[in-house]
Structure 1
Amino acid sequence: MNLLFHGGDLHSASAIYGRDPADWLDLSTGINQHSYPVPAIEKDAWHQLPYLNPVLIKAARSYYGDHPCLASSGSQNIIQLLPSILHQLGNQKPAWLPNVGYQEHRQAWSQRGEIHTYSGLDSQLAAQQIDAALHNDELGHLVIIHPNNPTGETFKRQQLRSWAQELQAVDGFLVVDEAFIDTTPSASLLTEELADNIIILRSVGKFFGLAGIRLGFTFATESVLNGLAKEIGPWSVNGPAQTVAIAALSDTSWQANMRSQLVKERGKQLSVWKKSMIQLGADLAASHELFRSFSMASDLAHRLHHSAAKNGILLRSVDINSSTSLLRFGNINLSHSSALEHCKTWIQQES
Structure 2
Amino acid sequence: MLEHGGRLRQAAITYGIPMDDWLDLSTGLAPYSWPLPSIPAEAWQRLPESDDGLEQAARDYYQAESLLPIAGSQAAIQALPALFPGRRVGLVEPCYAEHHHAWRRAGFAPLALADDEVEEVLDHIDVLVVVNPNNPTGRLFAPEQLLDWHVRLASRGGGLIVDEAFIDPTPEISLAPYTSAPGLIVLRSLGKFFGLGGARLGFVLAEQSLLVCLAEILGPWNISGPARHVGRHALADKPTQRIWREQMHTDSQRLASLLTAYGLAPQGGCALFQWIPHIRAAALHQALAEQGILTRPFDQLSALRIGLPGSEAGWRRFESALAQLSPEMRCPR
TM over 0.5: yes
Counterpart Cα distance in 2 of 1:174 and 1:27: 31
Name 1:11's counterpart in structure 2.
Answer: 9
Whether the 8 Å CA contact 1:86–1:173 is kept in 2: the answer is: no
How is 1:1-351 mapped onto 2 (pairs within 5 angstroms)?
5-87=3-85, 92-111=86-105, 112-119=107-114, 126=115, 128-135=116-123, 137=124, 139-192=125-178, 194-278=180-264, 283-297=265-279, 300-320=280-300, 324-333=301-310, 335-337=311-313, 339-350=314-325, 351=327
- 2-structure distance, mates of 1:98, 1:319: 19
Q: What do residues 85-116 of structure 1 show as CA deviations (whole Å, max 9, x unaligned)?
A: 122xxxx2431112211100010011222111
Partner SS for 2:262: helix
Deviations 1:146-184 (A, max 9, x none): 000111111111111111111113221100000000000
Distance in 2 (CA, whole Å) between partners of 1:15 and 1:80 is: 30
Instruction: Give the distance between the partners of 1:194 and 1:186, measured in 2 at CA.
Output: 17
| Secondary structure of the corresponding residue to residue 322 of structure 2 | helix
Tell me the number of residue pairs that the alignment of Structure 1 and Structure 2 aligns: 324
Rounded to whole Å, the distance in 2 between the matches of 1:277 and 1:203 is 33
Residue 122 of structure 1 is matched in structure 2 by none
Contact 1:51–1:234 (Cα < 8 Å) also in 2: no
Counterpart Cα distance in 2 of 1:340 and 1:145: 29
Q: CA deviation at 1:220?
A: 1.0
Structure 1: unaligned runs, 5 residues or longer: 120-125
Q: Tell me, yes or no, if the aligned pair for 2:64 and 2:205 is still in contact at 8 Å.
A: no
The TM-score normalised by the length of structure 2 is 0.93
CA RMSD, aligned part only? 1.6
Q: State the percentage of identical aligned residues.
A: 38
State how far apart, in whole Å, the 1-side matches of 2:215 and 2:79 are: 10
Structure 1 residue 54, shift from structure 2 partner: 4.1
Query: Which aligned runs of 4 or more in structure 1 are off by greater than 6 angstroms?
Result: none
CA deviations 1:193-228 (Å, max 9, x no partner) are 542000000001111111111100001122221121
2:331 aligned partner: none
- In structure 2, distance between residues paired with 1:39 and 1:263: 26
Cα distance in 2 for residues equivalent to 1:130 and 1:161: 13
Q: Deviations over 1:11-50 (max 9, x none)?
A: 2222322333332110001100113111111111111111
* Contact 1:59–1:249 (8 Å) recurs in 2: yes
AA paired with 1:172?
G
Q: Give ranges in structure 2 of 5+ residues lacking alignment.
A: 328-333
Q: Judge conservation of contact 2:58–2:235 (CA < 8 Å) in 1.
A: yes
- Give the whole-Å Cα distance in 2 for the aligned partners of 1:103 and 1:25: 24
Q: Deviation per CA, 1:59-96, whole angstroms, max 9, x where unpaired?
A: 00000113210001111111001112122xxxx24311
Q: Partners of 2:291 and 2:78 in 1: how far apart? A: 35
Q: Contact between 2:64 and 2:180, CA under 8 Å: does it hold in 1?
A: no
TM-score in terms of structure 1 length: 0.88
Read off the aligned partner of 2:268 and give its amino acid letter: A
SS in 2 for 1:284: coil
CA contact (8 A) 1:277 1:294 kept: no
CA pair 15-284 structure 1, distance change in 2 beyond 3 A: same
- SS of the residue corresponding to residue 113 of structure 1 reads coil
